[in-house]
A = this chain, B = another copy of it.
């Protein structure tokens, strides 16, 4: 096992000397530029291997002296999580500046395919790379493919368009997130009661509040959640999902009705935002902490409800991690560096009252 990491400070000059070529030739080989004979290239490669040379990023960065324009396309109209994403981008200003990257946040109606596609079509020429909160829709897929075709680096953020040609997706596996929520609900409710005849008694009803049936991430979460409940907790009865468009007021009304219609309600899972409306409806009915709630994303509202026990757990993704990953990936894509997959994996977090950050 080698416990010495990076011993001798090597330079391209050392490599060139060792290979018996000029600086420029060594540089061409290192960066895979054309105009070098096969055997010269081989000599250089050997020298690189033998000496264990790696270019000094800072020097390359400086010499390249080229600047980049990134666009980040986010849904307009302040959902808390997206505001956090935007804030984190601003917080990374120094990181971007240190790499000569100008970032523009473009707000648009991400939920309307035509609007989003139109916005995307305005990007080429003005930007070198784009991160976007995607909609999984044929028109958007085509728009993304056009950008890639035009030579831009494209990554999807938070919500993916898997069949497009985007180079990377920065976000969580939403099926896994839904499954995680399902396991939390199933386990927190405890094992089923066994009736007199030795039969499993029904464990009560589980309500599902979702933003919209047509958003891919919400649909995936619902799918994962349903999978786990059906497989592992068949005694729980899933109510048909209700759609509140991530709006607290709508969610409040939906939960009021749910409480009226389903006296056997034991848990609620919210696949999206607007959890605060659920908390309000439960509080009104005097059922806060009596009905198990699991939701998504850490916001001031969900934090409060976690602390007061209204919500038992949150399944979350870290907007800070996502923004930093997006920045690294786009930078790597435009500068032609490799991306370290392991480092860019975005985790599905479970947050209880006790491990709140």
Residues of chain A whose beta carbon lies under 8 Å from any beta carbon of chain B:
1-7, 9, 54, 56-59, 61-62, 67, 86, 89-91, 93-94, 96-107, 176-177, 179-180, 182-184, 187-191, 224, 228, 312, 315, 318, 320, 324, 340, 342-343, 345, 347-355, 357
Contact = CB atoms under 8 A, between A and B. Distances in A.
Given A5-B93, A5-B102, A6-B103, A355 B54 contact: no
Contacts of A58: 57-59, 61-62, 98-99
B104 A5 contact: yes
Nearest to A177: B355
A5 B89 contact: yes
A21 to B, nearest CB: 22
22 contacts: A3-B106, A4-B102, A4-B104, A5-B90, A6-B96, A6-B100, A6-B101, A6-B103, A9-B67, A176-B354, A179-B354, A182-B354, A183-B352, A187-B188, A187-B312, A189-B190, A190-B190, A190-B191, A318-B347, A345-B357, A349-B350, A350-B350
Contact of A347 (B191, B315, B349): B349
A37 to B, nearest CB: 28
A121 B7 CA distance: 22
